[in-house]
Amino acid sequence: MKPYIVALTDGKGGHETQTKGMITLLNAKGQYEVKWLTVKKVSKLHKWLLQTFFPVLSPQWALGLYLENGVEWQKLSCAYIVSAGGETLLPNALLKKYFHQQEQAVKNVIATSLRGMPASYFDAVFTIDEKYENQKPFIYYPIAPNKQLTFQLEHRVQQAKENLNLTGQKVLSILIGADTKTSKIGTSSEWSDWIQQLAQAYPDWKILLSTSRRTTKAFEQDLKNGLAGNPQLTLTLVNHGQQCDIADYIYAADLLICSPESTSMISEALVSEKKVWIPLFASSALDVELQAYLQQFEQRKWLKQDVNPKGKTDLAEVMKNISPKDHVKVLTKIFEMI
């Protein structure tokens, strides 16, 4: 029987996508089974008590606060514990402590800020913060592993185009999120007008557009008003009840346009080795941290930003200036060192 990778989830999609990416890297040879456990949220007081008395408390008792079905996880033969996100931080460390008490040589990996917990509680702490490079147990790379990570990229691209009935077709995928408290992605009319220009300039390309759960209904409605009715465009307006397989949209793309605010969406596109183009309209505004995040990738030519792209529709020129990197190969080497 294969040993297990135990994956912890707090139910948040952004955390799960990172966890799935790390599992793919650790299980590259298919030598492990994967067991997902959902952690319950505990109070701030409980967190403080557990963290303060971590060295002396019983991990089996403490894990009862986080996990159901204790017998299920207690009997596992475990090789790795993997998770991302603050709610999984303490149970990740507690599980390692428990399995070590059972004399199992378990290693644990976390992808999150440590929130005051000692890094020594983990065998590897994944970070995109450059200041931790070469500082064990931290492992650094500017792009986090995520669910788009695959060792069969050519097959996934082919399969995505087959799933979308777009084999042999040039595909432009557009992923639009929403304004945040600190950043603006541009108005719906700026996006709609520019997409219309792209469609007119490249009538032989299929354009796939998807919004996100964060996109407002009003923004989506404006896109629908401006773009609906063109058979060249497929619109997926998430908050209008429409769905698509976003992985297919990413894998099938010959060029992928992303709104700038979603670092997770951009990471998924980059890990898929896609040419990523980010428009910054007249009304767009990015905070300093986001500017730095995007600039480092632009300097490496992993993506291209365009300020006020209205009228800029030369896709060949854009694609010429982007050089996707085999991030999976680099990340595999990094995770082999854990």
Per-residue pLDDT of the chain (338 residues; tens, 9 = 90+): 899 999 999 988 778 999 999 999 999 999 999 999 999 999 999 999 999 999 999 999 999 999 976 667 888 899 999 999 889 999 999 999 999 999 999 999 999 889 889 999 999 999 999 999 989 999 999 999 999 999 999 999 999 999 999 999 999 999 999 999 999 999 999 999 999 999 999 999 999 999 999 999 999 999 999 998 899 999 999 999 999 999 999 999 999 999 999 888 999 999 999 999 999 999 999 999 999 999 999 999 999 999 888 778 889 889 999 999 999 999 999 999 89
- Domain, as residue range, for 173: 153-320
Is residue 233 located within the same domain as residue 92? no
Neighbours of 1 (CB within 10 A): 5
Query: 86, 114, 140: which is the final residue of a domain?
Result: 140
Is residue 81 located within the same domain as residue 201? no
**In angstroms, what CA-CA distances link 65 with 6, 68, 91, 179, 332?**
17, 8, 9, 36, 34
- Is residue 222, in this structure, part of any structural domain at all? yes
Pull the structure tokens for residue 338: 């854990």
Is residue 41 located within the same domain as residue 112? yes
Is residue 217 located within the same domain as residue 128? no
- Is residue 329, in this structure, part of any structural domain at all? no
Q: What is the pLDDT of residue 68?
A: 79
Q: What is the pLDDT of residue 158?
A: 97
Is residue 273 located within the same domain as residue 297? yes
- Is residue 309, in this structure, part of any structural domain at all? yes
Q: What is the pLDDT of residue 309?
A: 85
**In angstroms, what CA-CA distances link 275 with 207, 256, 319?**
15, 6, 7
Is residue 163 located within the same domain as residue 303? yes
- Is residue 337, in this structure, part of any structural domain at all? no
CATH number at residue 190: 3.40.50.2000
Listing DSSP states for 186-244 in one string gives --HHHHHHHHHHHHHH-TTSEEEEE--TTS-HHHHHHHHHHHTT-TTEEEE-GGGT---
Is residue 175 located within the same domain as residue 132? no
Closest CA to 108 of 99, 117, 116: 99
Query: 99, 114, 140: which is the final residue of a domain?
Result: 140
Query: 108, 140, 172: which is the final residue of a domain?
Result: 140
**Dist CA 263 CA 294 (whole Å):** 9
Is residue 294 located within the same domain as residue 272? yes
Is residue 163 located within the same domain as residue 75? no
- Is residue 147, in this structure, part of any structural domain at all? no
Count of structural domains within the chain:
2
- Is residue 331, in this structure, part of any structural domain at all? no
CATH number at residue 101: 3.40.50
Asked if 280 and 306 touch (Cβ cutoff 8 Å), the reply is yes
Is residue 203 located within the same domain as residue 78? no
Q: What is the pLDDT of residue 123?
A: 97
Is residue 43 located within the same domain as residue 159? no
Q: What is the pLDDT of residue 69?
A: 65
Is residue 74 located within the same domain as residue 184? no
Q: What is the pLDDT of residue 311?
A: 78
- Is residue 275, in this structure, part of any structural domain at all? yes
**Dist CA 222 CA 193 (whole Å):** 11
- Is residue 230, in this structure, part of any structural domain at all? yes
**Dist CA 250 CA 268 (whole Å):** 8
